[in-house]
Structure 1
């Protein structure tokens, strides 16, 4: 009977062990475990290098061989049992380690979900009803048909990045960013962000009377989105004009007082007025540029006209195509009205911007005049200082001569009574002569 090596385990199933011969069982198991194939037909004694029992020795030799085979089988069973026990322990340890690892992973796992922003807005509908509601970004995008990047211009949290005025036209909405006013105008409603800001309050005050049917006076009503756009532009222009009316009298008063009255308070008021004019001119200029860009792009104006209608724009010719001819005619008339509306507010914005620039130029000219006046005064002071320095130099020369005679050394002049008066007169005449000589020199060099 062939012996089984300790490195290759026994077949686990008893049925396979009884059906297949032992060599085939060993080959099958070793191939599955990828172990080297053992040498069959050798006993444990032969593998240890001992001599094999000879058949000539008779029955004792055969009995000894049978006993060795039985011992080898028992040894193999013990080794297989130990290996199976070790495998079970290893699998148990691996399972326990995996359980501990999964427990640590579950304990250390932290959810990193980002909180979706929620906006508090004022909703104004076409019938004039006003309500305050909270809407998430997902709901806002779903209801307005906008994309995520479109909301950057009206997001209140990005007001530092989006300070430039803008009017973006999309398929189902118009996004307004005019200073502190940020709104999304749709076909039947408008959502106002930062409704407590000055721009939002003025916009609401101008929009609500326009939606009242009593204020139409029997005339044709404009589409809701055009009412919103006009109210937004009007609120922005009126705010700029009010600031201009507040700054203009103050600047005119300062221009009358200066440059005769140069005090710290007057100069501080001039600085603040100039700062206000710079800010006003910058805002009016940005709004003017936005209106110019919108007027130069008829595609955007036509997109406003077809909003809420069964109309499309041809991609090649950019002409309006409507399913109902009457809607096309109305849309073309609205296009002309929008152009006239934008042109009107552009003129008002240019007037405000031009007046602010003129006042700013006057303030800058006054600053230049003040600078020249102060420079003239500093020049006069410098001339006086130079004359005093020349006189001091001449007197210092006379003091030097007097110091020489005061050294208590005999010069044979102290015995003469006329020496004192002659020396004093010479010092005075020399100082005056030196002063006039220096003065004439400075005049010739155009220093004084």
Structure 2
């Protein structure tokens, strides 16, 4: 089937059609289009067709290129919302959602969620009549139907990225805490290298979470950006001064609030892990101090034994003197007195070190 803007368009009615399309193979320019009437199309089109369809500039479409590294961004344009949130690269209009690479493993759950959440009200009621949805989902659908199409699609995207980052945080916590406990019980190069790698992963994840959080906070702090997201109102020709409606919906939406809270919780979790990692240099310093104290004790003992050996060496010289004759009993006194003096010297050294706080601190 030929698309109205060029390219190959494949209608999608069920998830099995998506699986079949995956077997045929889709390029990096594959998109899935989902509209407000519940229709879905898989498209393999170039950027010019996308630009003509949603009427955005090439620089806005460039941030959705997976080959280019752009930070997380939410752009409100005249007729579209451009989303670049990690693996979620989408364009939302007042009645359509274009999602890039729908066959990616991380994007497939988002497609399923969009299919469920963006379903028209009449189709949702029909499914409810046949018992395909639970009662709590009925209430959720009823609430979502009261909000504009673009806001519902934006909610799904924010929920997906926050859930994804939260899952990555939980996985990292599961790996970090046992590694830290193992490092505490036994300090070795292997455990240190393992913690170092986990710390690098944590730093990267913290940066990703912070980018998403900063983008949301920046969006919430600017009323003009909030008003740009209300595409339905702009299409209906309403006054731009009525931007309070979009802002109040965005702030009061329970799902949006939960997504921001989840992003904050993931960021706080990474911060706690980061703080705990910073405690381990202190533990390493403590062990290093204990080794230094042990070295001081051994060095003091070595000095005392060296003094004892020096005295024994002096009196052991085979030099002819008159006092060497008939004074065999002196040997015992020399050995005993030298031993006592060396022991007292060792005690004095340790006492002085303890007085200065070098030992036992």
Deviation string 1:232-267 (CA, Å, 9 cap, x unpaired) is 112112223333444556667778x57863355776
**Quick check: which has more Rg, 1 or 2?**
1
1:203 to 88, 110, 118: 110
Q: What secondary structure does 2:321 align onto?
A: coil
Structure-2 separation of matches of 1:332 and 1:358: 33
When residues 263 and 199 of structure 1 are mapped into structure 2, their CA distance, relative to the original with a 3 A threshold, is same
1:82-231 → structure 2 map (5 Å cutoff): 119-158=29-68, 160=69, 162=70, 164-213=71-120, 214-215=123-124, 219=142, 220=145, 222-231=147-156
- Number of aligned residue pairs: give it: 312
Q: What secondary structure does 2:342 align onto?
A: helix
Structure-1 separation of matches of 2:92 and 2:62: 15
Structure-2 separation of matches of 1:381 and 1:118: 58
Structure-2 separation of matches of 1:441 and 1:336: 71
When residues 237 and 422 of structure 1 are mapped into structure 2, their CA distance, relative to the original with a 3 A threshold, is closer
**Which structure's relative contact order is higher, taking Cα pairs within 8 Å and 6+ residues apart?**
2
When residues 226 and 437 of structure 1 are mapped into structure 2, their CA distance, relative to the original with a 3 A threshold, is closer
Structure-1 separation of matches of 2:273 and 2:46: 50
When residues 312 and 429 of structure 1 are mapped into structure 2, their CA distance, relative to the original with a 3 A threshold, is same
1:311 shift after superposition: 0.9
Deviation string 1:22-52 (CA, Å, 9 cap, x unpaired) is xxxxxxxxxxxxxxxxxxxxxxxxxxxxxxx
What is the match of residue 185 of structure 2? Answer: 261
1:2-81 → structure 2 map (5 Å cutoff): none
What is the match of residue 406 of structure 1? Answer: 316
When residues 446 and 267 of structure 1 are mapped into structure 2, their CA distance, relative to the original with a 3 A threshold, is closer
1:423 shift after superposition: 3.1
Structure-2 separation of matches of 1:435 and 1:252: 44
Q: What secondary structure does 1:176 align onto?
A: strand
When residues 273 and 438 of structure 1 are mapped into structure 2, their CA distance, relative to the original with a 3 A threshold, is closer
Q: What secondary structure does 1:175 align onto?
A: strand
1:356 shift after superposition: 4.1
Q: What secondary structure does 1:438 align onto?
A: helix
What is the match of residue 360 of structure 1? Answer: 271
Structure-2 separation of matches of 1:191 and 1:377: 57
Structure 1: where are the runs of 5+ without partners?
1-116, 321-330
Structure-2 separation of matches of 1:124 and 1:405: 102
When residues 431 and 130 of structure 1 are mapped into structure 2, their CA distance, relative to the original with a 3 A threshold, is same
